[in-house]
Structure 1
């Protein structure tokens, strides 16, 4: 599951975010404990805890004392909004800049996107 591209704790946080976005984890659903997570993935419990702490700080998870951690209300929508913003910044803005640099009219880019969409929008 884990690779060398980023720290394991960040990959843990991203995996949980992906599960929330995909609907695998629902709002107010309990998530695995850090000990369960570390045992299941055979990682250091402190590493798992750091990933969970990141999600707590971002407001994606919340803690019920003595019970565990749960998916926050509106976590999915929050994550979707963050991904939309990142998509436009990293993909669309970069595409527009590249098109301008190589002389492709934006109308051609738009037409190509519409063709790729097959009229579904």
Structure 2
């Protein structure tokens, strides 16, 4: 778990994203138990209902499932679901504005790809 929470973002979203990141980077594996709402509440000194809201969203998205009396666990398809969701968010957040700005500046797709490749090469050096 992160050491602290960001005051500028809802806590339940931070908990949700923290679990998502742990699944994507495989620090929490398929079938593994995630920290409980009470564990999050004790660690961050927050209301358990706040932590539950983030965890319940992950259940609704088929990322986690509940084993009654045992806890919440990572579903088999969780990582793939999260990666696809994040790719879509990446596209909407970065690619669409990039393409729109490029269009305004009359930058053709070919030139835009050359710019991306040029940036890749400068990072390799």
Structure 1 length as normaliser, TM-score? 0.90
Q: Does 1:33 align with 2:49?
A: no
Q: After TM superposition, give the deviation of residue 49 of structure 1 in Å.
A: 1.1
Match of 2:87 in 1: 84
Structure 2 length as normaliser, TM-score? 0.88
Q: After TM superposition, give the deviation of residue 113 of structure 1 in Å.
A: 0.9
Let me know the Cα RMSD of the aligned residues.
1.5
> SS state of the match for residue 72, structure 2?
strand
Q: After TM superposition, give the deviation of residue 3 of structure 1 in Å.
A: 1.8
Runs of 4+ in structure 1 off by over 4 angstroms are none
Aligned counterpart in structure 2 of residue 59 of structure 1, from 41, 58, 62? 62
Q: CA–CA distance in 2 between the matches of 1:99 and 1:53?
A: 40
Match of 1:3 in 2: 6
> SS state of the match for residue 62, structure 1?
strand
Q: After TM superposition, give the deviation of residue 2 of structure 1 in Å.
A: 1.7
Q: CA–CA distance in 1 between the matches of 2:62 and 2:34?
A: 14
Q: After TM superposition, give the deviation of residue 4 of structure 1 in Å.
A: 3.0
Count of residues in Structure 1 that have an aligned counterpart in Structure 2: 119
| Structure 1 stretches lacking a partner, 5+ long | none
> SS state of the match for residue 73, structure 2?
strand
Q: After TM superposition, give the deviation of residue 88 of structure 1 in Å.
A: 1.5
1:90-109 pair list within 5 angstroms: 90-109=93-112
Q: CA–CA distance in 1 between the matches of 2:39 and 2:107?
A: 52
| Structure 2 stretches lacking a partner, 5+ long | none
> SS state of the match for residue 24, structure 1?
coil
